[in-house]
Amino acid sequence: MATKKIFPTKSSSSLTPWLGIAFIIILLDQLSKITITRMFQLGEEKFVTSFFNLVLAYNKGAAFSFLQHSGGWQRYFFTAIGLAAAVYIIVLLKKHGGQRMFSWALSLILGGALGNVIDRLMYGHVVDFLDFHWDGVGHFPAFNLADSAICLGAALFILDELRRVNK
């Protein structure tokens, strides 16, 4: 009796570069956060340009500090969401590894999500340090490289979908 492969070889082999991209995002994200936490005290800012500072900030919530002051349960909730999303993204990458823009988008989102999950598991909060601001408007909430990768991945995902719809 022949054994049936659960995942075809072609799909499995096409998963490697996409996981590699996600790993690079995680590595750059974690190295940048380690560097900032060693160089700055919480709340400390360093002027870089007229519209950009480096700052050490902790976010116990989600995007834009959503649920930041909710008593701690959000740490586990957002960690679970990040891990569930990672599993789902890996399944999608196995299925659609040949679709380059779609897979780039998913890889960036995967790396960003796991970068922030690592923070939540290790520290109980996400380390943010990129601070953009404009005179008269104020400061955009601080963010990090993982957040940037997630946003870039989401933009690529939308672009890919628009491209697919136009075909």
Q: Is 152 exposed, middle or buried (0-12, 13-18, 19+ CB in 10 A)?
A: middle
* Rounded distance between C-alpha atoms, residue 75 and residue 68, angstroms: 9
Distance (Å, rounded) from C-alpha 103 to C-alpha 111?
A: 12
Separation CA 109–CA 157 (nearest Å): 10
Residues 58, 56: Cα–Cα separation, whole Å: 7
Of 49, 60, 48, nearest to 128 by C-alpha is 60
Catalytic residues: 128, 147
